[in-house]
Amino acid sequence: MDMPDIVNMYFDADSGSNADALSETFAIEAVVEDEGSRHQGVVAIREWWVAAKEATQYVSEPFESTVDGNKVLVPAKVGGQFPGSPVTLSYAFTIKDGKIAWLEIR
């Protein structure tokens, strides 16, 4: 699958449950929108991610990628301890200066 390196690093860190490596993929003032909530800045993003992993023990498996300039759309099968598991979620990344500046999960 052809994804920018930083997006590959995000999914590698996510699948390895590595909060430090995941945090390094984001720009300092990055934004994540997930489940109707917005998390801004690396510290808030790390807290959101750790809480989600602990609560649901989810695993995401990307299965395709579309790159359009600095936008990357990655659908992934996500399974874990939550109602309706597994589901397909869309990860919409915006990359700036080699880091994730924005991530919307829907």
Q: What is the DSSP string of the chain?
A: ----HHHHHHHHHHHTT-HHHHHHTEEEEEEEEETTEEEESHHHHHHHHHHHHHHH--EEEE---EEETTEEEEEEEEESSSTT-SEEEEEEEEEETTEEEEEEE-
For the stretch 39-74, pLDDT in tens is: 999 999 999 999 999 999 999 999 999 999 999 999
Q: What's the pLDDT band for 2 if we cut at 50, 70, 90?
A: confident
Q: Token pair for residue 63?
A: 């299965």
- Residue 27 phi/psi, 5° resolution? -65, 155
In this prediction, residues 26-35 reach a mean pLDDT of 97
pLDDT at position 1 over 90: no
